[in-house]
Amino acid sequence: QSALTQPPSVSGSPGQSVTISCTGTGNDVGPHNRVSWYQQPPGTAPKLMIYEVTNRPSGVPDRFSGSKSGNTASLTISGLQAEDEADYYCSSYTSSSTWVFGGGTKLTVL
Amino acid sequence: EVQLVESGGGLVQPGGSLRLSCAASGFTLSTYWMHWVRQAPGKGLVWVSRVNSEASSTYYADSVKGRFTISRDNVKNTLFLQMNSLRAEDTAVYYCARQQHFGMDVWGQGTTVTVSS
């Protein structure tokens, strides 16, 4: 049950786009379209931003989008805003019927 | 309002036990799979355990298998996590979360567990 691999940090200026990658294996991200993404500002509970690779829950801006290729999933945030500054985590269902999270990525809006 | 509220955290000595509760309101707990997720101080999210809607199927992270037990009382709309043989590395904020499709769409505010002598 090794954690999915995410970059520790990414940054961008307001209005720009940033992409956060999430690399797993053939036991989690690869065979399952069951990757989700969470936003966690400091001191708060996580919030679901994307589920099943590409789907946005009601209320999440369409600036947030998800994709997957092979064993790597990605979260793209376009039109970056100051309020997007937070930690972001990916998660995947696994072939062992368990779940695994990524190590988290700190997004800084410059 | 759809809400999850955890309780039961606290300070416990190594080797001790705690039982966490997660009270659901605004929705019927019995129709959802539920999870526990923890976050050590300054660290990332770590999945702990999952129970299906009927409580007939449970899964655990290797790090807690054999020590933690997830359960639910669908009549009382409450999820539980029984934690035994606690270790220092179990120190964390513990969140309960509801699964909708294959995403965790509702989270509690968390309850803090500190394992220390």
What is B18-74 written as a DSSP string? EEEEEEEESS-GGGS-EEEEEE-TTS-EEEEEEE-TTS--EEE-TTTTTTEEEEEET
Name residues of chain A where pLDDT drops below 50. none
**Residue B55: its pLDDT value, please?**
87
A81: CB partners within 8 A, 6+ apart: A14, A63, A109
Chain B 7-26, CB below 8 Å of chain A: which residues?
none
- Please tell me which of the candidates B47, B63, B103 has its beta carbon nearest to residue A48: B103
Whole-angstrom distance, CA of residue B56 vs CA of residue B73 = 12
**And the tokens for B24?**
């659901």
Cβ atoms B97, B109 nearer than 8 A: no
Task: Tell me the pLDDT tens digit for each residue of B10-22.
Answer: 999 999 999 999 9
Whole-angstrom distance, CA of residue A30 vs CA of residue B15 = 38
**Residue A2: its pLDDT value, please?**
84
A52 contacts in chain B (CB < 8 Å): 101-103
Chain B 32-91, CB below 8 Å of chain A: which residues?
35, 37, 44-47, 50, 59-63
**Residue A54: its pLDDT value, please?**
97
**Residue B46: its pLDDT value, please?**
98
Interface contact flag, A46 B104, Cβ < 8 Å = yes
**Residue B24: its pLDDT value, please?**
97
B109 contacts in chain A (CB < 8 Å): 45
Counting other chains too, the contacts that B64-73 makes at CB distance below 8 Å and 24 or more residues apart are: B64/B90, B68/B36, B70/B34, B70/B36, B72/B29, B72/B34
The per-residue pLDDT of chain B, averaged, comes to: 96
- Please tell me which of the candidates A38, A57, A101 has its beta carbon nearest to residue B46: A101
- Percent with pLDDT over 90 in chain B: 97
- Please tell me which of the candidates A34, A38, A97 has its beta carbon nearest to residue B59: A97
Name residues of chain B where pLDDT drops below 70. none
**And the tokens for A67?**
């994709």
Q: How far is A47 from chain B (nearest CA, A)?
A: 7
